[in-house]
């Protein structure tokens, strides 16, 4: 079981990072399986993916290529080592603290522009990603290599329910149902433990928001994770409140503000910004020193925190458990 941090007593994402959000289409995962055996010798396995396509594997897959980090994380959590992955360095930077890769999968190109040649050379048993992972004109070629399963990475109408359903679907494809059950139980235990820590600290209801400030030239934009985002859904499960109530888009629950828009946040906001060791700290470079920023009540109160470093805000149970732990850590500072 994950161990929560000690009891609390005492979004620069440039264009590449924007692609991290993947699709915003509504999730349509509807997993079914004809296999009751959870070993890799079992089969066949049939699921219906986000396209509404029924995909059948002769047996649970062992050699898997992942085209999106959400599904890559889930495969890794379930104990299967990827043979191929889109943007391996990016995964390591943005996801690696919560679910590190155990091996070195081949880099098969960028998300949304995978290399058909590189994937074909790997001879995978399964190619998995999100609905925007494969250009439409490349789908036929990709399906000649191996069965393709595309799953929604988010759904604002039920972010954590979508995460669980997708995770269980991936487990069926890999024959790892027992491992999925254990991982989800561990996730639930982490949330419960951290909920108790928040309550014991007297922080129940404290308004929090995870943001992602990024710059395009001299223009600053701040991505806001609203109550329909996975990260805010976790915060709400822990008894915290929402500093930003805008529902955002239908997929990821995201909306955007400029610096002046932050005046809409409550004075007692805990303002968290998504950090990354490999990217510029926009809060420290573009926002610090700006009179509008410096005069915000939560800034003056010292309630600004870098958070979720190496934790994927759009990930699976491992990322969301790590995020829950990180909330406890940040609010204890």
Phi-psi region of 111 (alpha: psi -120 to 50; beta: other; left: phi over 0): beta
User: Where, residue-wise, is CATH 3.40.50.1980 in the chain?
Assistant: 23-182, 194-331
Q: Say yes or no to pLDDT of 47 above 80.
A: yes
- In angstroms, the CA 106 to CA 128 distance is 15
Query: What confidence score (pLDDT) does residue 42 get?
Result: 73
Whole-prediction pTM: 0.87
Q: Beta strands 254-257 and 148-150: pairing type? A: unpaired
Query: What confidence score (pLDDT) does residue 7 get?
Result: 37
What are the tens digits of pLDDT across the range 259-289? 999 999 999 999 999 999 888 899 999 999 9
The band of 53, judged by pLDDT with boundaries at 50, 70 and 90, is: very high
**Omega before 44 cis (within 30°)?**
yes
- In angstroms, the CA 233 to CA 238 distance is 9
Q: Say yes or no to pLDDT of 56 above 50.
A: yes
Backbone φ, ψ for residue 151 (5° rounding):
-120, 145
Query: What confidence score (pLDDT) does residue 41 get?
Result: 53
What are the tens digits of pLDDT across the range 304-322? 999 999 999 999 999 999 9
What are the tens digits of pLDDT across the range 205-221? 999 999 999 998 889 99
Query: What confidence score (pLDDT) does residue 28 get?
Result: 34
- In angstroms, the CA 317 to CA 185 distance is 10
**DSSP class per residue in 78-138:** TT---SEES-HHHHHHHTTTTS--SS-PEE-EETTEE-HHHHHHH--SEEEE-TTSS-GGG
Please name every residue paired with 196 in a beta bridge, in sequence order, or none if there are none.
Answer: none
- In angstroms, the CA 172 to CA 126 distance is 12
What percent of the residues of the chain are helix, what percent strand, and what percent coil, each to the nearest 5? 35, 20, 45
Q: Say yes or no to pLDDT of 144 above 60.
A: yes
- In angstroms, the CA 101 to CA 224 distance is 29
- In angstroms, the CA 204 to CA 103 distance is 40
CATH class of 194-331: alpha beta
Query: What confidence score (pLDDT) does residue 12 get?
Result: 29
Query: What confidence score (pLDDT) does residue 195 get?
Result: 98
- 146 vs 217: which has the higher pLDDT: 146
Angle at 318 between CA 251 and CA 62, to 5 degrees: 95
- Of the candidate CATH numbers 3.40.50.1980, 3.40.50.970, 3.30.2320.20, 1.10.10.10, the domain formed by 23-182 belongs to 3.40.50.1980
DSSP 3-state assignment of 273? strand
């Amino acid at each position: 079981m994950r161990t929560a941090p000690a009891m609390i007593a005492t979004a620069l994402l440039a264009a590449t990072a924007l692609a991290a959000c993947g699709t915003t289409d509504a999730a349509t995962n509807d997993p079914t399986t004809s296999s009751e055996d959870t070993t890799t010798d079992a089969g066949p396995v049939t699921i219906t993916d986000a396209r509404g396509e029924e995909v059948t594997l002769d047996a649970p897959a062992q050699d898997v290529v992942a085209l999106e980090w959400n599904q890559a994380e889930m495969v890794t959590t379930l104990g299967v080592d990827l043979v191929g992955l889109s943007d391996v360095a990016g995964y390591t930077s943005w996801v690696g603290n919560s679910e590190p890769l155990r091996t070195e999968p081949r880099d098969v190109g960028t998300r949304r522009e995978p290399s058909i040649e590189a994937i074909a050379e790997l001879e995978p048993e399964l190619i998995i990603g999100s609905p925007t992972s494969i250009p439409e004109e490349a789908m036929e070629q990709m399906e000649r290599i191996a069965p393709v399963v595309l799953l929604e990475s988010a759904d604002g109408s039920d972010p954590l329910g979508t995460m669980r359903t997708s995770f269980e679907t991936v487990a069926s494809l890999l024959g790892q149902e027992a491992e999925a059950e254990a991982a989800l139980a561990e996730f639930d235990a982490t949330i419960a433990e951290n909920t108790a820590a928040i309550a014991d600290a007297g922080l129940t209801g404290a308004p929090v928001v995870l943001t992602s400030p990024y710059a395009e030239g001299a223009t600053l934009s701040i991505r806001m994770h609203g109550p329909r985002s996975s990260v805010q859904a976790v915060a709400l499960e822990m008894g915290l409140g929402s500093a930003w109530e805008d529902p955002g888009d239908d997929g990821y629950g995201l909306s955007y503000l400029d610096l002046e828009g932050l005046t809409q946040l409550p004075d007692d906001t805990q303002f968290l910004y998504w950090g990354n060791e490999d990217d510029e700290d926009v809060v420290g470079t573009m926002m610090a020193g700006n009179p509008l920023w410096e005069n915000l009540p939560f800034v003056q109160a010292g309630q600004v925190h870098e958070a979720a470093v190496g934790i994927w805000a759009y990930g699976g149970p491992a990322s969301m458990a790590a995020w829950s732990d990180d909330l406890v850590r940040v609010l204890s500072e």
